Amino acid sequence: MLTWPHPGTDWSSVLDEVEPVFLDIARAVLRFQHLLVSCEHVLRLQSLERELNQYAEKYQLPGRVIGVPAPADDTWARDHGPIALRTSEGKTELLDFRFNAWGGKFAWEKDNALNQHLANFGSFGTTPLVPVDFVLEGGSLESDGAGTLMTTTECLLAPSRNPELDRSAIEAMLKETLGAERVLWLNHGYLAGDDTDSHIDTLARFCAEDHICYVACPDASDEHYSALAAMEDDLMQFRRADGSRYKLTALPWPDAIFDEDGERLPATYANFLIVNDAVLVPVYGVPQDNEALDIINSLFPEREIVAINCRPLITQHGSLHCVTMQLPAGVVNP
């Protein structure tokens, strides 16, 4: 799922730079699976649907594009998109958590209504969309697919999201709503320029049930050094359900990237996207890109590694995983 940038978003002044990134993501996804694209501008959506489906047909790709006209404040589908759940009966549900733009930092009303708009349009077929009265963004959670969630205290305990609930109540809600058995909390870690209050998908990711990769800063003079060293210690203290330690793999630390105002941007290799048979990896035009690709290739040896230049995305403080949301097979049928 992609929510396409349009002139009414913060991308308005750089659409010519950011749309090629979205097109690269769309073409890469179509090599492996179908794609749901929503866009507020109907004419642009129609041209996108036509262009991308012609591309898929020309190269005999397995994916097809489904275009849906829908209002949107921004493009961060990871956070306003539905979170898919497989029930104990083997059925799929799409959970529609409340979205308030990371604690009311930006406009959010259109994005909060987007999932219901898509459902009303028939985008999810017969899969039910279940509203959940709790503020939660998809980028704030990592799942190993086997009962364990990983998240950060800075995000989920932020008073601008669910101020009436403490940590134990939030953990109980996650377990009940998402069917989790355990929640692992990172108490440290951040990226300068990040608007999300330390989303887990910028810091640490499951690459297997027993393996976590994470952002590490080796430069003691860097402002991130202490927080990320403390986060590494948090990860070393984590245990699997059987009491064993996790395998840990550090990802490279990219050279600092700044915007035109001198603000540091949150470049991170942890923001990769797993699709069918491949992993899409954000790169930024810095010397560490190749090392990051090699390491992620070693973590997913059975998958093709596809580099996507995401430098334009981080100017708005997010990256590849942040602008996408996966949907299970059978939910969208082009």
Q: What is the model's pLDDT at position 88?
A: 84
316's CB contacts (< 8 A; 6+ apart) are 10, 11, 18
Q: What is the model's pLDDT at position 326?
A: 97
Mean pLDDT taken over the chain: 97
Question: Distance between CA 333 and CA 92 in Å, rounded?
Answer: 14
User: pLDDT tens-digit profile of 284-297?
Assistant: 999 999 999 999 99
Question: Distance between CA 164 and CA 170 in Å, rounded?
Answer: 10
Backbone angles phi, psi at 286, to 5 degrees: -120, 165
User: pLDDT tens-digit profile of 135-145?
Assistant: 999 999 999 99
User: pLDDT tens-digit profile of 9-30?
Assistant: 999 999 999 999 999 999 999 9
Task: Tell me the mean pLDDT in the region 83-90.
Answer: 92
Q: What is the model's pLDDT at position 334?
A: 74
- 213 carries an active-site annotation: no
SS3 content of the chain, % helix, strand, coil (to 5): 35, 25, 45
Please indicate, yes or no, whether the overall pTM of this predicted structure exceeds 0.75: yes
CATH architecture of 2-323: 5-stranded Propeller (3.75)
Q: Which of these is catalytic: 39, 207, 213, 322?
A: 322
Which helix (H) or strand (E) element contains residue 79?
A: helix 77-80
Question: Distance between CA 138 and CA 143 in Å, rounded?
Answer: 10
